[in-house]
Structure formats: structure tokens, C-alpha cells
Chain A
Amino acid sequence: MSATIRAGRVDEEEALCALFGELDAFHAASRPELFRSFDGPARSRAQIETWIAGPDSTILVAEAGDLVGLSLIIPRAASPFAGAVPRRIAVIDNLVVRADWRDRGIGEALLEASVAWARAHGSSHVELGVHAVNRHARRFYERHGFATSVHWMMRAI
């Protein structure tokens, strides 16, 4: 592993947006019924500031000269269902490694750092969503101990 994992900074907005944009492009290409490309920065500066400033959210980055990967962690609102066991859930909302830096353990380092961050911030569980088409990602997370809790099914109306 040749990258350092650390917290991202607001002044890295442009590099962060490039990474978000790479993931967005993958989603738009693989799930065109759900995602489309759009003009402008992949994420607004205000949004990035909020994530970085939030007590229960953060952006971790992998730095190897440039930023070559990121992990966005956000909290999930507690279930309003009275019968749900109370859990504090951190969601890894986006995790991406630049295409030319894959297969070097950077995703793994980001994932491990994300779980450690969530634990240190009082989370009992870490959750994430994986699109059905993204078998590679699913295998990656399963290798790291994640298991399916909810299987989403969809039908066009």
C-alpha cells in the first residue's frame, strides 16, 4: 500500500469532486434508469463542507501524491419503528478508488479506516448499499465481513 489515509479537507474540493465524479459516471453507465450525468461539480462545496464539519460524518481520503481514493461516511437516521433495536449506524455512502490506482489495497485501507472511524465515533454498525450489477464491490465487502441485511427489489412503474 502506497497511500496515506487521512481526513479530507474542504480546500481539496476539486480533487474530491473528481473522485465523486468517477463513481457517478460508473453509476450512470451501469444504472441508467436511476442515474444520469449532470453539469457542474459532482458535489457542491456547501455539501462537502457539511460532511467534513459534521460530528457524525466525514470524508476520508487516500493520498499518494494526488488524492487517489475517498470514503464518505454519513450517519443514518434512527428507525422511527418502536420495535427496532436501537442501533447507531454509520453509512459508507461512497467509496471509490481512482481507476489507475485499483488493486493495490487502497480500497481495503479506506474501508478499514472507515470502520475504525465509525467505531471511534460510537457507531454500533456500519452499513452500505451495493448495486446488484456491482458484483466486484459486493465480493470486496463480503471479504471484509459485511453481510446482506436487506435485499432491495425494484419494478418499473
Chain B
Amino acid sequence: MDTEPTDTDLAPLAMRVRLAGPRDAQVIADLLGSTDDLFARPELAVLVAQGDEGVLGVAVLRARPPARATELDRLVVRAEVRGRRVGRRLLAAAVEWSRQRRALQLEVPVLAADADARRFLKGFGFAATSDRLVLAA
């Protein structure tokens, strides 16, 4: 996940989080830097934080039914509204979406170098569960 969790003095923005649809595809592609067709993949759910003047951030969730866990694949907040609680709202919505899916856990992969994201998640009640280690063969 890539978000900017720093707390600032900026006021929280008015927004609501909703499920995204195909009409949001372009703004989501811009935020994620990817042209993958997320809406063609039934295991994914895409949430967007909708502000007065457009989409402020996006969260991509993946259901993993056998494990009764959901996974927060991506969480991206527009650069110009970082620090204004958009990430928090999306994360809270991700927890709620998982709860409705009767998941027992929500899991988030964080790049090893992304200490900010790790801190942000810790503040939200997340704890280290496992690491993926890699070796160039």
C-alpha cells in the first residue's frame, strides 16, 4: 500500500466512501498507475473516497474466501489531499467491508521499505503477521 499517513493540522475533508464502478475506471487507473481492468476480476472490490470535487483516494480489496481473510491490495490517496484523513476513512471502510463479508482478518502487504505505511497501520490496530522474504536465484 502507498499512502501518506502523516498527521497535519489540515482539516479533515468532507467525503463519503462508496463502492467504485466502471465509470470510475479512469480516475482509479490514474491513482494506481495501472491500466488493469479491476472490474473484470470478481474477487476484487474497489472502494473510493468521494469528495465534493472528485475522487480523493482508492482502496482495492481482495476476498480470500477459504481463509476467511480479506486483503487490502492497494490504498492510494491523491497526493494533494494527504494528511487529511482520506486514508483513515478508506481503511475504516475496508474493515467494515471485511466485516460484512464475515472475514476474520484483514491483511495488508506493506513494502519492506515503507515504514510510514507500517506506522499508519499500527496506529489502526494492525500487527506484524508474516514477512515475505526473497532471494535472487
Contacts and interface: CB of A to CB of B under 8 A. Distances in A.
A128 B136 CA distance: 12
Contacts of B69: 154
B105 A148 contact: no
Contacts of A146: 133-135
B128 A132 contact: yes
A82 B36 CA distance: 7
Q: Pick the most buried of A125, A131, A157: most chain B CB atoms within 10 A of its CB.
A: A157
B23 interface: no
B127 A129 contact: no
A151 B112 contact: yes
Interface in A115-147: 115, 118-119, 123-132, 138, 141-142, 144-147
A156 interface: yes
Interface string B98-113: 1100011111111110
A153 interface: yes
What bracket does the count of chain B residues touching chain A fall in?
35 or more
B8 interface: no
A149 interface: yes
A154 B132 contact: no
A90 B137 CA distance: 9
Interface residues of A, number: 37
Interface string A71-108: 00000000011110000001000000000000000000
Given A81-B36, A82-B34, A83-B34, A150 B132 contact: yes
A148 B98 contact: no
Contact of A138 (B35, B109, B131): B131
A124 B137 CA distance: 5
B130 A132 contact: yes
Given A83-B34, A155-B125, A157-B99, A129 B131 contact: yes
Given A81-B36, A152-B109, A115 B135 contact: yes
B15 interface: no
Interface of B: 33-36, 41, 67, 69, 95, 98-99, 103-112, 118, 121-122, 124-137
8 contacts: A82-B35, A115-B135, A145-B135, A150-B109, A150-B131, A152-B107, A152-B131, A153-B122
Given A123-B137, A125-B136, A131-B129, 13 more contacts: A80-B36, A83-B33, A127-B133, A129-B130, A129-B131, A132-B128, A132-B129, A144-B135, A145-B135, A146-B134, A148-B134, A152-B107, A153-B118
The 6 tightest CB contacts between A and B, nearest first, are A154-B129, A146-B133, A153-B126, A150-B132, A148-B112, A149-B134
